[in-house]
Amino acid sequence: MNDTHNHKNKGDKNSGSGSSNNNTASVNSPASVNSPASLFADFPAPANKQAKIPSDKVVEKLSYVAHFSSPLNATSAKGFFEFESTARASSKQNHHDARVKMLEIYGKEAIAWVIDEVKLKKKNPDRCVEQLELDFRERKPARKRPVAKKYL
């Protein structure tokens, strides 16, 4: 076999084309390792977590209803309350606003309570808010268990 061909050695990074390339050796040397800040210089900087709202755009606060409950080993407390938030429904910011409002209303006894769900409050313009509505319809009869068929 002819020894005129350049054979690749496993440990030699510069072999293969017959001519040694000095540029690759300088890139892999530890002296040319860039700082972490310059490694990501080509990428855009991350945006802020909260989007900046233009001053001409008015953000409307919506009303939500939050349901809460206490842990099983504590004194039983269940209920709901209303609060206003500019965040989207079921977002982390919305749950945070609900928790802050719950702590404002109920104080330090509500620290262990958990917010189960947050729902958008429905707007019913046709209902009267000042007075409770009365329902004069007859109640539906209670359902009886179906008669068991007994076979002989």
Task: List pLDDT tens digits, range 44-70.
Answer: 655 555 555 555 667 788 999 999 999
Residue type (1 letter), 20: S
pLDDT confidence of residue 140: 87
Query: What is the mean predicted confidence (pLDDT) over 97-111?
Result: 93
- The domain locations on the chain are 62-120
In Å, how far from its chain's centre is CA 5? 61
Residue 69 pairs in a beta bridge with 78, 114
**Cα–Cα distance for residue pair 115/110, rounded to 1 Å:** 10
Residue 120, φ and ψ in degrees, nearest 5: -70, 130
Q: What does each C-alpha distance from 41 to 26, 27, 34, 44, 105 come to in angstroms?
A: 21, 18, 11, 8, 48
In the predicted structure, residue 97 carries a pLDDT above the cut 70: yes
Average pLDDT, the chain: 74
> What is the pLDDT confidence band of residue 151, given thresholds at 50, 70 and 90?
confident
pLDDT confidence of residue 47: 59
Query: What is the mean predicted confidence (pLDDT) over 27-41?
Result: 53
pLDDT confidence of residue 55: 58
The CATH number of 62-120, from 1.10.10, 1.20.120, 3.40.30, 3.10.20, is 3.10.20
